[in-house]
Amino acid sequence: MNRRTAFKFRQLGLLTAVWLMIGVLIALYDHFTLHTHISAGPAADYSLPRAIVVNMCAALIGAILGGSLLVFFVNVKFRDKSYGYTIVTVIVAFSVIIILVNIILKVIAVAKPDYNRMCKNSLVWAIVVAVTQMALQVNSKFGYGIFWDIIRGKYNTPKEERRIFMFLDLNASTTIAEQLGDKQYHAFLKDYFSDMTNPILDNKGEIYQYAGDEVIVAWKYEDGIQNSKCIQCFFDIKYHLQTLEEKYRQRYGIVPSFKAGIHCGKVVAGEIGIIKRDITYSGDVLNTTSRIQGMCKQFNEEIIASADLVEELHLPGNFVKQTLGAIKLRGKEREMQLIALKPVI
């Protein structure tokens, strides 16, 4: 099971647990409401345990049917749509599902006829679904797992971490922008960034930033060196884009290619900002990685890594290392050993 699928199952599990708790809360709300003076009173066969079970069953069915639809379909097929469009579509679709669930369970009468439970439940669950979809979209915006880190305040206080960074830079970006024009170039970048996302996630990478036509990918140190995923990621992106060559030629007449620099080291991670809060990394490793990426053009290489990183990796036999020597990077006082990496043909 790849990382994307595992993460989606974790999302579905969390969603199911939350919806089950909401089902219990609805049953308790009904119970206390039925015993107030504003209610016509409970039915003769009303039972709180039975009501809780029914509500939990409804929540479970909704999570299995609707939650799976949200996690595995809507947030994949609709990810290029606007947030508003997606939320409205989801509310309409789920209103139908909620009505079907109520019909399946035959909505046990918990009160006298004037207590319209079906209407209330449909409204409550429509709101729950809308909020759930918004949470999933916000999670996608921040990145897998980052939203939860922000909620629990993991980076309220800056923390020192060891990370691997890869700077991916689009080749001939200025020429492409001039050929396509502003709007078409934006569409090109949108497709380009979208198509490289899955290979990054499959190799346990995190998309740290989009900076113009550049993508900055980060790994937790242990994740990046495991099976040389940080290096494999580059070639997986390359091979995946090659499979989409026909799509790019038809839409834009251009197939994207890129170069990358990759390095590791300690950074300080922490939340910054008030209006637009975000988690940022600061440290010399980022500047150094950018400088390494800048050497790709000089040496005519696709990917260049620091020797510091390569020494930590157990590169499989399908990669060839080529030592470029000790290079003095721009803005740096000390020379750094750089290594070009190529796949075995």
Q: Write out pLDDT tens, residues 163-190.
A: 999 999 999 999 999 999 999 999 999 9
Q: Are residues 193 and 58 in the same domain?
A: no
Q: What is the pTM of this model?
A: 0.74
CA distances to 124, 156, 181, 261, 329 from 151, in Å: 24, 10, 40, 32, 39
Last residue of a domain, one of 142, 160, 194: 142
Q: Look at the block and give the residue holding tokens 């309409």.
A: 92
Residue-wise pLDDT for 50-103, tens only, equals 888 888 888 888 888 888 888 888 777 776 666 677 777 777 777 776 666 666
SS3 content of the chain, % helix, strand, coil (to 5): 55, 20, 25
d(CA 269, CA 71): 29
Q: Are residues 49 and 66 in the same domain?
A: yes
CATH of the domain at 320: 3.30.70.1230
Q: Are residues 14 and 163 in the same domain?
A: no
Q: Are residues 26 and 14 in the same domain?
A: yes
Q: Are residues 166 and 310 in the same domain?
A: yes
Q: Are residues 17 and 122 in the same domain?
A: yes
Q: Look at the block and give the residue holding tokens 């053009």.
A: 297
Mean pLDDT for the stretch of residues 215-241:
94
Q: Are residues 62 and 83 in the same domain?
A: yes
Enter the tokens of residue 202: 């499959």
Q: Are residues 268 and 184 in the same domain?
A: yes
Last residue of a domain, one of 97, 116, 142: 142
**Angle formed by the axes of helices 83-104 and 117-142, to 10°?**
140
Q: Which residues pair with 50 in a beta bridge?
A: none
Q: How many CB atoms lie within 10 A of CB 120?
A: 14
Pairing of strands 303-306, 258-272: parallel
Q: Are residues 63 and 185 in the same domain?
A: no
Residue 161 belongs to domain spanning: 146-343
Q: Are residues 121 and 239 in the same domain?
A: no
Q: Are residues 36 and 164 in the same domain?
A: no
Residue-wise pLDDT for 250-298, tens only, equals 999 999 999 999 999 999 988 887 766 778 899 999 999 999 999 999 9
Q: Are residues 154 and 221 in the same domain?
A: yes
31-40, 114-123, 200-209: least confidently modelled range: 114-123
SS3 330: coil
The one-character DSSP state at 228 is: G
Hey, which of 17-26, 97-106, 315-324 has the most confident mean pLDDT?
Answer: 17-26
Q: Look at the block and give the residue holding tokens 């569409």.
A: 187
Residue-wise pLDDT for 103-136, tens only, equals 665 554 444 444 456 667 777 877 888 788 777 7
Q: How many separate domains does the chain show?
A: 2
Last residue of a domain, one of 107, 142, 177: 142
